[in-house]
């Protein structure tokens, strides 16, 4: 049986066509900008780009807009702890709810929010995060969970092969993906 390619997610905070065209084709986009409200024109531009390049497109923390514009889903950040986030909506077919967590309590919240994939972070040490999970703690946190996990935080060319050691279906990032577009990446499975 052939293994499926890993899910790869890239976080963006604005529409930058030069940056997006440098990405490999199998990288899905998550639009999140917590400093300002999303502009409809910007969402439509990203959506058009994603349809042309056959990528999935998720909008952060705004399920109403994501459904209104027919996006692939919504991303719920770890700080959103609302348990009825999606319960008041009739979700379209193939609409996906994904979210992020940093500990067991937040994983439980994301499960209650009906997330199909949970971004667990930070897995590795980075300039931004000196406190990180490591592969062992990551595996302990994900054991016996019935949800797919995505590794996030500190992933780069020197440690991405360690992802083979953990229970993940993919990974996400910003700086490493932005730096090289993952053009030379070999799948980690």
Cα–Cα dist 162/74, whole Å: 28
Collapse the DSSP code of 63 into the 3-class scheme (helix H, G, I; strand E, B; otherwise coil) and give the result.
helix
Tell me if 55 is assigned to some domain.
yes
Residue 79 maps to a domain: yes
CA angle centred on 158, ends 139 and 119, rounded to 5°: 40
Instruction: Give the contacts of 7 (CB within 8 A, at least 6 positions apart).
Output: 28, 117, 148, 150, 169, 170, 171
- Whether 145 is in a domain gets the answer yes
pLDDT per position in the chain (189 positions), as tens?
Answer: 334 678 899 999 999 998 898 888 889 999 998 888 889 999 999 999 999 999 999 999 999 999 999 999 999 999 999 888 777 788 888 999 999 999 999 999 999 999 999 999 888 877 776 677 787 888 888 888 889 999 888 888 778 788 888 888 988 888 777 766 555 555 543
Structural domain for 78, as ranges: 7-180
In whole angstroms, give the CA distance from residue 28 to residue 170.
11
- For residue 48, cis peptide bond before it (omega within 30 degrees of 0): no
Q: Is 2 inside any structural domain?
A: no
Q: Which residue has the tokens 């409809």?
A: 40
pTM of the model: 0.87
CATH number of the domain encompassing residue 97: 3.20.20.70
φ, ψ for residue 91, nearest 5 deg: -75, 140
| Structural domain contains residue 157 | yes
Distance CA 106, CA 91 (A): 23
Q: Could you give the number of structural domains in the chain?
A: 1
Are 29 and 20 a contacting pair, CB within 8 Å?
A: yes
Within-domain flag for 56: yes
Which two tokens mark 166? 């953990």
């Amino acid at each position: 049986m052939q293994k499926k390619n890993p899910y790869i997610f890239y976080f963006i905070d604005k529409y930058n066509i030069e940056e997006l065209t440098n990405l490999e084709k199998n990288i899905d986009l998550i639009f999140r900008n917590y400093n300002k409200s999303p502009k409809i024109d910007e969402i439509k531009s990203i959506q058009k780009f994603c349809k042309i390049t056959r990528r999935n497109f998720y909008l952060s923390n705004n399920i109403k807009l994501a459904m209104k514009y027919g996006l692939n889903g919504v991303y719920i950040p770890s700080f959103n702890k609302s348990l009825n986030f999606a319960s008041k909506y009739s979700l379209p077919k193939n609409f996906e709810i994904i979210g992020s967590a940093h500990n067991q309590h937040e994983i439980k919240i994301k499960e209650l929010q009906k997330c199909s994939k949970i971004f667990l972070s930070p897995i590795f040490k980075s300039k931004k995060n000196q406190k990180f999970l490591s592969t062992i703690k990551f595996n302990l946190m994900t054991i016996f969970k019935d949800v797919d996990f995505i590794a996030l935080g500190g992933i780069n060319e020197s440690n991405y092969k360690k992802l083979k050691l953990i229970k993940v279906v993919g990974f996400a990032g910003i700086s490493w993906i932005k730096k090289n577009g993952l053009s030379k990446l070999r799948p980690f499975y």
